[in-house]
Amino acid sequence: MISANRREMHRKWLLEVTQIPTAAGKEWRVAEYIRRWVKARPGLELASDKSGNLVVSIRDAKGTDLAPVYITAHLDHPAFVIERIVSPSCVELSFRGGVMDDYFKDAKVAIWSGTETRHGAVLTGETGAAPVNGGESPFKHYTAELSDSHDTTEGLKVGDVAVWDLPPAEIIDGILNTAACDDLAAVAAALAAMDVIEEYKETARDVRLIFTRAEEIGFIGAIAACRDGTMPKNAIVLALENSRSFPHDSPIGGGPIVRVGDRISIFSPSLTDSVAKCAEALAGGAATPHAREKVDRARKWKWQRKLMSGGACEASVFCAAGYDATCICLPLGNYHNMGELAAVQEGRNSRPPTIEREQISVSDFEGLVDLLVACGQDPRVTGQNPLGPGLRATGSVGPLVEKLWRERAFVLGA
């Protein structure tokens, strides 16, 4: 049982982390937060691989004969990066992530300098992209004019991050409204879980956190971790995500989701099943009651089991590299900050497409922390990937991974 005081501290981390400006390849602010967090805890240690992914582990953990569990979350969110200073009042930005074109018209952004100076700006249109890394840029480029006539681009540099200009984070009726749940709420959940798991280091299995870079442009940090051998081949991988919620299928407030697959693959079946059994133990029953059962409305701990085929996640990359991997996600509102997304997609929106804060349920977040802690203690959380460690999956995922790496690895400085 996690105490009320500790829950409050976890919510504080959630509010803090989800407001940090970040973009694919420019995740240093979130990385610094994690470094400070680990430094304040003598029982933990931090390492990074050659691609800048971060690994948090328990110092002097007793461990067991069981395979280590790696909980992963990515450090970026769809955002802009300065590619060129056009004039004293104008910059050219590339957008790194997936957002419909409809949402960019006259949108407001906040540009953050390396010295944490904030500059308000408005997008003024899409522009042709200059070649990047010896070839065509894989990102769309936009010009942005500073909003304040007294402001200038002095102090801004190529590589600085710009994010959507949104109100501060707040919790309203149990719902977190914030700039970047995806995937910073998962970063906060991983830290909160490790905060609890560390206390059980004498009996818990070997649990580590891995924070990856540049997921929003094609899982580049996860691909690098597989290529670099950041995790041992017998590692069990629990990838954390924030996935688009559909009200009648994967509702916000319905609990964390044990995700059986995504748009491009099905995850390790035996591992997914063992994580589901941990969820069943916490809830006292299945995610969906059998036809012969009534709904238990008194049940406080909720969970869901879904495919979530609207997008793809890092678990597919880890499975393709031969790891036993699955995903646990939070149902997400205003996916990638796109307000009224379903209405805009169907052409029935009553107002122009608007950028809004992402939303998750605080109870879902706390349920995710509970489930991660349970998985970190349960010896039954195992997988039996039929490919065996070190073998690569066949089909479309492997070639897709190689293509993404060739085109976009440059954002890591590779």
According to the model, what pLDDT value does residue 63 have? 63
d(CA 266, CA 284): 26
pLDDT tens digits for range 41-93:
999 999 999 999 999 999 987 666 789 999 999 999 999 999 999 999 999 99
pLDDT band at 388 (very low <50, low <70, confident <90, very high): very low
According to the model, what pLDDT value does residue 65 have? 79
According to the model, what pLDDT value does residue 384 have? 66
Q: Delineate the domains of the chain, giving CATH numbers in brackets.
A: 4-77+169-412 (3.40.630.10), 79-164 (2.40.10)
For the chain, percent of residues with pLDDT exceeding 70: 94
Which of 191-205, 336-350, 392-406 shows the lowest mean pLDDT across its residues?
Answer: 392-406
134-146: average pLDDT:
91
d(CA 323, CA 77): 25
Predicted confidence (pLDDT) at residue 220 exceeds the cutoff of 70: yes
With b meaning 16 or more CB within 10 Å and e meaning fewer, what string describes 341-354? beebeeeebeeebe
Residue partners of 361: CB distance under 8 A and separation at least 6: 174, 175, 176, 252, 253, 330, 331
269-292: average pLDDT:
92
Predicted confidence (pLDDT) at residue 292 exceeds the cutoff of 80: no
Predicted confidence (pLDDT) at residue 260 exceeds the cutoff of 70: yes
d(CA 23, CA 128): 21
Predicted confidence (pLDDT) at residue 414 exceeds the cutoff of 60: no
Q: What is the mean pLDDT of the chain?
A: 93
According to the model, what pLDDT value does residue 118 have? 97
154-160: average pLDDT:
96
With vertex at residue 153, the alpha carbon angle to CA 150 and CA 155, rounded to the nearest 5 degrees, is 115
pLDDT band at 395 (very low <50, low <70, confident <90, very high): low
pLDDT tens digits for range 91-129:
999 999 999 999 999 999 999 999 999 999 999 999 987
Alpha-carbon torsion (267, 271, 277, 282), positive or negative: negative
d(CA 410, CA 126): 23
245-257: average pLDDT:
96
Predicted confidence (pLDDT) at residue 393 exceeds the cutoff of 80: no
pLDDT tens digits for range 305-319:
999 998 899 999 999
Predicted confidence (pLDDT) at residue 387 exceeds the cutoff of 60: no
Nearest Cα residue to 315 out of 35, 29, 70: 70
204-220: average pLDDT:
95
The pTM assigned to this predicted structure is: 0.95
Predicted confidence (pLDDT) at residue 389 exceeds the cutoff of 70: no
Q: Are 338 and 321 in contact (CB under 8 A)?
A: no
218-225: average pLDDT:
97
pLDDT band at 293 (very low <50, low <70, confident <90, very high): confident
According to the model, what pLDDT value does residue 263 have? 94
d(CA 231, CA 339): 37
d(CA 267, CA 409): 24
